[in-house]
Structure 1
């Protein structure tokens, strides 16, 4: 009976961690500057990202259909690194020094709070929709991005933007639009779920 209770407690703790990770927090994940991984190195091959760079792993995991996303992997996009946690351990993959990953989930009716994007648990409303995206550098007026992007199955559009800029982001779908200012410095959040299309 004690063994069952311990297993149940462990399962509930893991479920709570999954439910509160990434989308529910605006605090960055704690990581050690001295080391990019824990003593136990997780096996990333099972998740299709072994040997990939941080940017490649982000793009790969963002594209996985929701039904195929593993519950054994937590993947949190911080401003400068991708933090990965599996039952085997934890590791961190650095992201490009000159690029910042912002994952945007525009919505019409329903959204959720989000600070640092979880590639495995965050869900948006508009999965598979073709969304017009424009990004303009506020300092120079330069248009950095102006194209139609298809939201991933999880409802997010992933944007690799120049680091250390302030920009105006506009998204549009079916005649509805939303505009906001975004930052891409090292203290910026990587998940944006407040853009309501009206």
Structure 2
């Protein structure tokens, strides 16, 4: 992880120049990149729209992974919002719902030190976290303490790192450590759970 993550709060405040973008919350739909209201998914040809935005032939899981890993600056040209069982893809005027795996729940995490934003449904197109391109260690456990993820990853250009987890988790935990900092938040993948986690703040490890 770069040195700025372990500097003082004052140094971090001066160094951070990235503007954090709000994602969709549980009470609102993701706005389209063009600022309009996409038409209902049922009235749009899915294959045609995906072809128009360069995502033809992709499954829902492939769309999520490709856009999450995109090195392009946010917002992306195509809109995409991850829900419990589908990803909404929009060209700015129309949107379609592409199914996600029945046995997996996508959770995208943006650990932060100083700045964050509210988020419920992860927007692959607009969400931006504070720590982009940073190496972090992630430990994810279910409610019984079973370890589901234990790996070191590098956050994407959007400051997020995503994981496909089993559905139905209650009382789980996401823990992140990085360069002498650590933090944790509760995890759930039950119906009504968020796909976006922006509440995991990293702080110095207590001796």
TM-score normalised by structure 2 residue count: 0.76
Assess if the C-alpha contact under 8 Å between 1:40 and 1:88 holds in 2.
no
5+ residue gaps, structure 2: 1-20, 31-39
CA positional deviation for 1:180 = 1.3
Structure in which a larger fraction of residues adopt helix: 1
Matches for 1:83-122 after TM superposition, within 5 Å? 83-87=88-92, 89-122=94-127
Question: How many corresponding residue pairs?
Answer: 171
TM-score normalised by structure 1 residue count: 0.79
- Once residues 129 and 83 of structure 2 are traced to their aligned partners in structure 1, the CA distance between those partners, rounded to angstroms, is 19
CA positional deviation for 1:50 = 1.1
Partner of 1:55: 61
Assess if the C-alpha contact under 8 Å between 2:23 and 2:123 holds in 1.
yes
What's the CA shift string for 1:89-146, capped at 9, x where partnerless?
A: 211011111110001000011111111100000000111111100011122x211110
- Return closer, same or farther for 1:61/1:188 CA change in 2, 3 Å cut-off: same
- Once residues 192 and 54 of structure 1 are traced to their aligned partners in structure 2, the CA distance between those partners, rounded to angstroms, is 20
5+ residue gaps, structure 1: 1-20, 31-35
Partner of 1:25: 25
Q: Secondary structure at the match of 1:61?
A: helix
- Return closer, same or farther for 1:151/1:110 CA change in 2, 3 Å cut-off: same
RMSD of aligned alpha carbons: 2.2
What's the CA shift string for 1:137-157, capped at 9, x where partnerless?
A: 122x21111000111100001
CA positional deviation for 1:29 = 4.5
Assess if the C-alpha contact under 8 Å between 2:74 and 2:126 holds in 1.
no
Assess if the C-alpha contact under 8 Å between 1:49 and 1:60 holds in 2.
no
Partner of 2:3: none
Assess if the C-alpha contact under 8 Å between 1:55 and 1:96 holds in 2.
yes
Partner of 1:169: 174
Between 168-177 and 82-91, the greater mean CA deviation after superposition: 82-91
Partner of 1:13: none
- Once residues 131 and 161 of structure 2 are traced to their aligned partners in structure 1, the CA distance between those partners, rounded to angstroms, is 10
CA positional deviation for 1:186 = 2.1
